[in-house]
A and B are shown apart, each in its own frame.
Chain A
Amino acid sequence: MNIQLHTLSEVTGFNGRPGHFTVTVQKHPRYIDMDKCIACGLCAEKCPKKVPDEFNMGLNKRKAAYIKYGQAVPLKYVIDGQACIYLTRGKCRACEKFCPTGAINFEDKGETVQLQVGSVILAPGYKPFDPTGWDFYGYGQISDVVTSLEYERLLSAGGPHMGHLVRPSDETEPRSVAWIQCVGSRNTNNCDNGYCSSVCCMYAIKQTLITAEHAGAHSIQQTVFYMDMRSPGKEFERYYENAKTRGIRFLRSRPHTILPGPGGNGVCMRYVTEDGAVHDENFDMAVLSVGLAPAPESRQLAATFGIDLDPYGFAQSANLSPVNSSRAGVFVTGAFQAPKAIPRSVTQASAAAAAAAEALHAVRGTLTRRKSYPVEINVHGQAPRIGVFVCSCGINIAGVVDVKAVAEHARTLPHVVLVENNLFTCSVDTQDQIAARVREHQLNRIVIAACTPRTHEPLFQDTLREAGLNGYLIEMANIRNQNSWVHQREPAAATAKAKDQVRMAVAKAALADPLETLTVQVDPKALVIGGGVAGLTAALGLAEQGYATVLLEKSAQLGGNARRIAFTAKGEAVQPWLEHLVAQVRNHPAIEVLTEARMKTAQGSVGHFVSDIDVNGHVRTIHYGAAVLATGAAESCPNEYLYGQDERVLTQLALDRRFDTDPDAFAGDGSIAFIQCVGSRDAQRPYCSRICCTHTMRSAIALRERHPHINVYVLFRDIRTYGKREALYQRARELGVVFIRYTRDRKPHVTADADSLSVACTDPILQMPLVLKVDHLVLAAAIEPNATEELVSIYKCGINADGFLNEAHPKLRPVDLAVDGLFVCGMANYPQPIEESLAQAQAAVARACVLLSQQEMQLDAIKSMVTDRCDGCALCLDVCPYRAIRLVEAVGQNGSTTRRVATDPALCKGCGLCAATCPKGGIFVQGFTPDQLRAQVTAALQVVNE
């Protein structure tokens, strides 16, 4: 509602200063009136011009009048001015003749608007690398060579073959598929993309697993050709291991040429394995795992906004201010800043939102509006008057289900006074029509037979409220997702099922009661747990946005792990920055810092929590509306490679400490070796610690630059310098650092004598055993989470098997915890470098501010309710996953005590487990009362009983 969408628009001018920017936006013509278009699709159906569909990577055709995809937002058609026959050659106008609402407007000239804004966020994204020019892969010449994004569309149910996986050349199902990794990434030879694209290893694994699902009974032989397998994210390593156990072949090799397969179908690849053997192998399809490249338009955009780009063409930003561009007031996020996966993009987007809002918090709410609704009509005691609206959803439903027959059936049902069939029940004009019908016919219950309530119920509830009805007097029958989409081949049975669904919905709606939404007052204060860089940044961000914040730190000092880190991966000095950050936090009037503090208890829920805090022996009570958990992680203590037994064996941080205090501490050494993955990616900690490869690169480079005479060896399993960090790996190799790979079942063996340490390993390229004599051995020890059991049990939030706090949704809510009002950032969530911790901390600020900026919060009204029949047996307590139920004792009039359960509506999510468990009807969920469910079942069985 407070977002104005400018589609088909480009920024052409930009000036002003932070807080007062003027942006010129050129809006290109759509040739279709957005207010009139009801997305019926007739224009596209009648349009005679076909062009390649860029949404499906040109694998099929679309019309010149089109929508990008079925669920497009805004769901309005557009005419492609470059392709339209009328606009290019002056004849046709077929769409105009057939458009039922007169929405076509060929006079549309577009417009230029000037917008005044306080901050700008740039998120123009990336462009998949285009391998067209590379003749050795034959892309564009051999039809069975596709890019990974084309393959993604082939797998998709919305794709050119409706999710039926076939190869392009002859549309047969492939029996063998090969992926080639790092196409257009980690390559300075054929292109200038020296960076790692961060996502290709993981999406290739995903595609293999999904392909296996598609294959069903007959298996598809799948091979992934890779350089290093990079799965340095939460649950990523397990995903990779899982793929290995499913029979997917991972080969460390790089096929140099793809040739057409036998008979012109499929491909033939020649590749060399590590033992030097040459193989020729045929595959039915080859997928090029293309990297993420900066979009060419981004360069123009950067020029318009006057911001700097890095040598690759991504936006330049400092590691200690990860979303700030080189221009104040302009923030950068997403794959425009660096190649990254969805969760990091989402996190960084929230971080950019926080940064953009920080300068504007004084004027928060000045340009936004809130919706107001008329007073609700009291429907108590009224006989039900039900209006049924049957949606055709274009042809989505009407193409299978006979909607007219469903509507006729609805007319015969009890209490139904009005039935209408709409082309799109969700379109804006139909919403107005529904509101008008409610008033005309005094309807007091509404049944919508359309799609899923998950996406559309809020819209219809809103319409009801605008018409003066309680939003819960609606019932939806999902005759699309649960019917027309899954019964496409049986229209008669689908129509019968749709009738059943509508009958059930009407029966339930007749018993619907208006429900009152619960309002929670929000305490505009925040609590941050953990005084590392993530916690400090979160506390400062919240305070800068105007919320009083308490920062808890269990030790006596602020700064956490960062106190032991000298430089970021980009070489920025950490200590001066950290000192400044700590001083800012300590001196901020809105922040209270409590060191040597521990949380004892937490009561309440989102919007108003109450906690007892033990501060150095004294207990204090604090109130807050939201909390950010930034409890961090730490370098683990290795238990192998003679660590602790020989003082020449160090961890990375110990090396840093000695090197930083005395750069010549290792001047007398002849050789130093690093061993990677010490305690990571093994049985005990089956995850990648993400930061150690980059850390080792920095140390190795520093050593070689300072002392070129020292031989530096790195023993690794996969080098995981993801994103722009790949440049460090390249620099290390240029400086002569020797990289030797080992495998988990053939770990290096370390022995010590008085002169030196001996590291025995096998070189996979030489195929020979090696013994390295080194003066120091550095172990890249795993990062393990700080103990959070206490906090987890206090807040009832979740951790994964490795002990890291679990986010509510790994993609879309990466900093929210499953408990509303709690947020996570920093290494408590997963091991990550400073820049990612900072971005996550800022993201947590943005998410917490969404909550704290509300004076009061409306909660959903679907909640559990305790009835008189509850006898306090407490069976429901055990099954409630949100711990919203507790046992209370009440003293009756005669002095006897009765036990009852009570529910906390703020915690209850209305899942209904309690109602299903209760043996005596002592608890039920509003909106799903036993009477309503019974009526639904009776209605469903009506046909059978007749």
Chain B
Amino acid sequence: MIDIRIGQLAQTFDVHRNTIGNWIKSGRLRAVSTVGKRYLIEKEEMIRFCMSAGIPLQRIAALTGSDVPPSPSERPIIPSPIKREVRMSAKPIGAVMVVGGGIAGIQASLDLANSGYAVHLVERSAGIGGAMAQLDKTYPTNDCAM
């Protein structure tokens, strides 16, 4: 039985800790949670998972205390989960946060959303509009601000 924290596993596998969490949640990696945010994993299960994921066993040798090389027949059957996960460092995130829902924040959000980016518009009050919504008219055309 290996007693390990998610963070350590994430470091060993070079993925995000949430990814490990997801593997455990989905049952792809069988682990039992225990006190102190630690997990217990069967040694055999660990080796099976590493082989199916295509992770060099040497990496977890220290964890499992075993250095059994995988036989060719035991090569991955399921597609590697690691390669399908997007690495943290790979591509930027196509979303922008705009803080403030006044006329400036609204304009920035619209331009971004209309050119292909997801926008999170964060506003402190219950509705957007900001100070401009409070104005009656605007200069120099005397247009209604609303």
Contact = CB atoms under 8 A, between A and B. Distances in A.
B66 interface: no
A121 B94 contact: no
A30 B126 CA distance: 8
Contact of A368 (B99, B110, B116, B132): B116
A119 B98 CA distance: 9
A70 to B, nearest CB: 9
Contact of A10 (B111, B124, B132, B135): B124
A159 B135 CA distance: 10
Contact of A125 (B117, B131, B139, B143): B131
Contacts of B95: 115-118, 367
Nearest to B106: A349
Contact of B100 (A5, A75, A123, A365): A123
Interface residue tally on A, bucketed by range: 35 or more
A121 B105 contact: yes
Interface of A is mostly: mixed
Given A3-B113, A365-B116, A368-B113, A357 B96 contact: yes
Contact of B134 (A8, A55, A239): A55
A363 B123 contact: no
Interface of A: 1-11, 18-21, 23, 25, 30, 55, 57, 67-69, 71-76, 78, 115-126, 128, 149, 152-153, 155-159, 163, 202-203, 205-206, 209-210, 233-236, 238-239, 297, 301, 333-336, 342, 345-346, 348-350, 352-354, 356-357, 359-360, 362-368, 810-811, 846-847, 849-850, 853
B120 A368 contact: no
B93 A367 contact: yes
Contact of B96 (A9, A25, A121, A238): A121
Interface of B: 88-89, 91-143, 146
Contacts of B141: 235, 810-811
Contacts, number: 267
Contacts of B104: 123, 125, 333-336, 345-346, 348-349, 352
Nearest to B89: A20
Contacts of B101: 5, 7
Max chain B Cβ within 10 angstroms of own Cβ: one of A1, A239, A346: A346
Interface of B is mostly: mixed
Given A155-B136, A360-B94, A121 B99 contact: yes
A119 B131 contact: no
A485 B133 CA distance: 20
Contacts of B102: 123, 125, 334-335, 345
Nearest to A127: B131
B100 A124 contact: yes
A814 to B, nearest CB: 10
Q: Which 10 A-B pairs have the closest CB atoms?
A: A334-B104, A19-B92, A363-B94, A123-B100, A72-B127, A349-B107, A353-B111, A156-B136, A367-B118, A123-B105
A368 B125 contact: no
Contacts of A10: 122, 124
A120 B140 CA distance: 32
Given A3-B119, A810-B141, A349 B113 contact: no
A342 B130 CA distance: 11
Given A69-B133, A367-B117, A120 B96 contact: yes
B134 A152 contact: yes
B138 A846 contact: no
A1 B114 CA distance: 9
B96 A210 contact: no
Given A69-B133, A353-B108, A810-B140, A9 B124 contact: yes
Contacts of A67: 126-127
Nearest to A305: B99
Contacts of B130: 125
A128 B135 CA distance: 13
B107 A346 contact: yes
A120 B118 contact: no
Contacts of B136: 152-153, 155-157, 159, 163, 210
Given A156-B136, A368-B113, A2 B125 contact: no
Contacts of A69: 127, 129, 133
Given A235-B140, A342-B138, A363-B93, A68 B112 contact: no
Contacts of A362: 91-92
A364 B108 contact: no
Contacts of B139: 202-203, 205-206, 236, 239
A119 B96 contact: yes
Contacts of B133: 55, 68-69, 71
A558 to B, nearest CB: 27
Nearest to B95: A117
Contact of B127 (A73, A209, A234): A73
A342 B139 CA distance: 9
B115 A850 contact: yes
A6 B121 contact: yes
Contacts of B105: 121, 123, 125, 334, 349
B21 to A, nearest CB: 14
B130 to A, nearest CB: 6
Given A55-B134, A209-B142, A810-B140, A345 B97 contact: no
A124 B117 contact: no
A404 B125 CA distance: 37
A237 B102 CA distance: 27
Contacts of B121: 3-6
B61 to A, nearest CB: 31
A596 to B, nearest CB: 33
Contacts of B118: 2, 4, 367-368
A776 to B, nearest CB: 37
14 contacts: A5-B101, A9-B122, A25-B120, A25-B122, A30-B126, A68-B127, A152-B135, A205-B139, A206-B137, A353-B96, A356-B112, A362-B91, A811-B141, A850-B111
B40 to A, nearest CB: 28
B96 A117 contact: yes
Nearest to A298: B100
A360 B117 contact: yes
A350 B112 CA distance: 8
Contacts of A363: 91-94
B124 to A, nearest CB: 6
Contacts of B91: 19, 362-363, 366
B92 to A, nearest CB: 3
A2 B119 contact: yes
A78 B16 CA distance: 38
Given A69-B133, A206-B142, A350 B120 contact: no
Contacts of A119: 96-97
A198 B105 CA distance: 20
A335 B120 CA distance: 20
A6 B135 CA distance: 24
Contacts of A115: 95, 97, 120
Nearest to B118: A367
Contact of A236 (B100, B126, B140): B140
Contact of A120 (B97, B129, B131, B134): B97
Nearest to B104: A334
B9 to A, nearest CB: 20
